[in-house]
Amino acid sequence: MMKLITEELLDETTRKAKASARLRMNHNFHDSMESAVHRLLNALEPGTYLTPHRHMDKEETYLILRGSLFAFFFDDDGNITDKTLLSQAKGNYGLEIPPRTWHSIVALEPGTMIFEVKSGPYVPLTPEEIAAWAPPPSDTEKVAAYMKHLLDF
């Protein structure tokens, strides 16, 4: 069956992200978490926090559908090595993140939406794939300071 990405689907996924405590929401196109390829919309609102992480054995691709975001890349000590703006208005439409690359993203505009592709099946991140040098999502005060630090880079 054909799966269509429409303005209505983007709006619905954005509404769910705004209502979510995490300020983000996925809409999966893959049939199951066991699928060989995961394809999804990822709605991101300003203030959502994605702990810096890496995938040891898979690349990840982001295509910006609306809004804008910064993608951050880090070395093993947590130092920012690069910052890339994804924005249709600026002509930067997407990126592919190689395996073993520490990364995170920060949404800059309400209604920011990416189409994300990565290999399946879904396997939760292991401790070695979650940045020990970044604050955990539960520490909202440190997260706010960390996100300000990222945006000031």
pLDDT at position 1 is: 85
Rounded to the nearest integer, the mean pLDDT of the chain is 97
Distance CA 109, CA 85 (A): 12
* Cβ neighbours, 10 Å, residue 104: 20
Read off the pLDDT of residues 7-43 as tens digits, 9 standing for 90 and up.
999 999 999 999 999 999 999 999 999 999 999 999 9
Q: Any idea of the CA torsion for 36, 20, 18, 54, to the nearest 10 degrees?
A: -40
pLDDT at position 129 is: 98
Q: What is the pLDDT confidence band of residue 101, given thresholds at 50, 70 and 90?
A: very high
Read off the pLDDT of residues 112-145 as tens digits, 9 standing for 90 and up.
999 999 999 999 999 999 999 999 999 999 999 9
Read off the pLDDT of residues 56-81 as tens digits, 9 standing for 90 and up.
999 999 999 999 999 999 999 999 99
